[in-house]
């Protein structure tokens, strides 16, 4: 017995939901089952590259355990700890607007559910741990570059205050994986890795879509009842209500959680990149960090995903509408469980209302205005137009806006208003003439609105700094960490992880991690463009 064998497994998902009776690990269509039992495929030389101290502490794992050889063996997929019940989930989904049928965990294998320090359930899931029945034509593995990106971004998002799955560990496998990064015929071997993802549930919209599409009503009903009882227990606190009634209140909460999540994405400038319905968490968490990106230059039309380059379906500015579309697909799947569609329609309407209320309140806080006012819509529209008139780093602009003096009388010189924002423009030589006049004019309007909000200067700056991060996982920083790690130096991964644990602090001496994107990263693969290849 090791310390990892003492993890308190309580495997509700596999104990209470219908399982695939076929225990063979062969690719196939799996019917009338929520999951298939499957164990990770061992690797040749697992080595722990990084681990999250906060997640380890949540699970009750001491630092010496995380540094142990057994930790690498377990979270590299070579050993299944006592009490675990490994499985891959069965689900479907819409991909890029079209129904894709069965998808499932093709390279993710959950070890099982453990009780954390708070006696709450957390699923430990290994991504890149080998093939499952849902791998289709793939090998079930993941490369180091995508694993570093998922590990760092999971933790970065948590510390930004955005609902997300977490990441416990990043383990290299000692083996290579062949991938074609841009699907252009240039496949090459890359180092492999496994990330241990952690969340109360990895259930997605697609888990409910698949049995509904197949007409497996009994499976769908079992999964809905289980999900409400385990992940939305407050909705069944007085005994499980009639299923048709429960579905309406449950769906409404999914909608409001999803709205809050998307508001936070828009606040920090996160672009998911592949918002298929199978990548939407039933808990309203960010899930599946694939070809994501951070909006550096303000551009609502930007998408980091090369697969999405033609239609830009998943561009930054479209994320609120895409999330709503995915909720519509989930509602359609739940219709078979209720005779009254009105509660589902009400949930969709609550998403729209919740998102708009949340976005308005978020922007008012972000801009130091206090409570939102009706006139803010005009000022926000002017802001977004102004930001697009020259290439503007949106992270630096919003962070440094708190340093711009409030010009209530309109007599401060333009230079005094512009100086705090000098670092936000990629081409400062363009901030002249009409562009300069537009920026200065908006800053004077912003100042009058800030004064109307009634917040004292110190309080306004403090509140703005609490929602506008100084540090995010800039695309080029992630690529620098990947390049170094592939060359055998993982130190930048550890340093970045530490920086991203305090995104709202100034962190003197670490200014380089908040700098604008360098010119070399403008068109670099991994910085400006990514694919689903991992």
Residue 495: both structure tokens together: 């340093």
Q: Which long-range contacts (CB under 8 A, 24 or more apart) does 331-334 make?
A: 331/251, 332/212, 333/205, 333/208, 333/209, 333/212, 333/213, 333/220, 334/208, 334/212, 334/224, 334/247, 334/251
Pair 481, 152: CB distance under 8 Å? yes
CA distance 80 to 60: 18
Tokens of 244: 């048709």
180 assigned to active site: no
Q: Per-residue DSSP letters for 149-196? A: HHHHHHHHHHHHT--B-EEEEEEEEEEEEEE-TTSSS--EEEEEEEEE
- The C-alpha atoms of residue 452 and residue 367 are separated, in whole angstroms, by 12
CB crowding 297-334: b at 16 or more within 10 Å, else e:
bbbbebbbbbbbeeeebbbbbbbbebbbebbebbbebb
Nearest to 152 by CA among 529, 396, 492, 516: 492
Q: 């644990």: which residue's tokens?
A: 501
Query: Can you spell out the DSSP letters for 201-216?
Result: ---BHHHHHHHHHHT-
User: 297 - beta bridge partners?
Assistant: 393
Contact 132, 36 (CB under 8 A): yes
C-alpha to C-alpha distances, 168 to 20, 54, 270, 283, 497, nearest whole angstrom: 28, 8, 21, 19, 12
Asked if residue 12 lies in contact with residue 113, where contact means CB atoms within 8 angstroms, the answer is: yes
Token couple for 162: 């955005």
DSSP state of 409: S
Which of 20, 252, 264, 278 is an active site residue?
A: 278
Cα gap 211→217, rounded to integer Å: 7
Calpha distance 171→330 (Å, rounded)? 35
> In 3D, which of 108, 207, 125 has the Cα closest to residue 166?
125
Contact, 355 vs 363, CB < 8 A? no
Return the exposure string of 411-431: e unless at least 16 CB atoms fall within 10 Å of the residue's CB, then b: ebeeeebbebbeebbeeeeeb
* Residues belonging to the active site: 278
């Amino acid at each position: 017995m090791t310390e990892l064998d003492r993890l308190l497994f309580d495997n509700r998902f596999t104990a209470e939901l219908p399982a695939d009776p076929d225990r063979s690990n062969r690719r196939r269509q799996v019917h009338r089952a929520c999951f298939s039992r499957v164990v990770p495929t061992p690797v040749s030389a697992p080595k722990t590259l990084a681990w999250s101290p906060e997640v380890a502490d949540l699970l009750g794992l001491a630092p010496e355990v995380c540094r142990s050889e057994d930790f690498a063996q377990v979270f590299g997929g070579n050993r299944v700890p006592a009490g675990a019940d490994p499985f891959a989930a069965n689900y479907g989904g819409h991909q890029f607007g079209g129904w894709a049928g069965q998808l499932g965990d093709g390279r993710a294998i959950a070890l099982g559910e453990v009780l954390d320090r708070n006696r709450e359930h957390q699923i430990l899931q290994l991504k890149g741990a080998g093939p499952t029945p849902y791998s289709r034509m793939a090998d079930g593995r993941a490369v180091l570059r995508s694993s570093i990106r998922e590990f760092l971004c999971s933790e970065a998002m948590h510390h930004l205050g955005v609902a997300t799955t977490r990441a416990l560990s990043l383990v290299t496998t000692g083996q290579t994986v062949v991938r074609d990064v841009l699907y252009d015929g240039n496949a090459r071997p890359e180092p492999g890795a496994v990330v241990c993802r952690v969340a109360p549930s990895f259930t997605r919209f697609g888990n409910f879509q698949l049995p509904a599409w197949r007409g497996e009503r009994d499976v769908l009903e079992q999964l809905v009842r289980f999900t409400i009882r385990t992940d939305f227990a407050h909705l069944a606190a007085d005994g499980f209500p009639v299923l048709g009634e429960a579905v309406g209140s449950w769906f409404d909460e999914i909608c409001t959680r999803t709205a809050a999540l998307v508001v936070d994405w828009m606040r920090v400038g996160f672009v998911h990149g592949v918002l298929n319905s199978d990548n939407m968490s039933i808990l309203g968490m960010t899930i599946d960090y694939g070809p994501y990106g951070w909006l550096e230059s303000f551009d609502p039309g930007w998408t980091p995903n090369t697969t999405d380059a033609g239609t830009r379906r998943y561009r930054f500015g479209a994320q609120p509408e895409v999330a709503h579309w995915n909720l519509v697909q989930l509602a359609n799947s739940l219709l078979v469980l209720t005779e009254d569609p009105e509660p589902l329609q009400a949930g969709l309407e609550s998403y729209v209302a919740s998102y708009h209320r949340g976005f308005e309140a978020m922007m008012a806080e972000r801009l130091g205005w206090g409570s939102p006012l009706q006139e803010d819509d005009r000022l926000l529209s002017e802001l977004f137009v102004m930001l697009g008139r020259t290439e503007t780093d949106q992270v630096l602009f919003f962070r440094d806006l708190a340093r711009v003096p409030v010009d209530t009388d309109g007599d401060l010189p333009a230079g005094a208003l512009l100086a705090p924002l000098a670092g936000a423009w990629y081409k400062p030589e363009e901030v002249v003439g009409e562009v300069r006049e537009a920026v200065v004019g908006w800053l004077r309007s912003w100042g009058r609105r800030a004064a109307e909000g009634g917040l004292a200067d110190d309080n306004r700056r403090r509140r703005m700094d609490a929602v506008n991060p100084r540090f995010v996982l800039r695309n080029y920083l992630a690529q620098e960490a990947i390049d170094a790690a592939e060359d055998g130096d993982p130190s930048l991964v550890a340093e970045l992880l530490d920086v991203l644990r305090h995104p709202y602090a100034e962190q003197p001496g670490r200014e380089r991690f908040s700098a604008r994107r360098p010119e070399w990263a403008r068109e670099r693969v991994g910085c400006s463009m990514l694919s689903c290849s991992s």
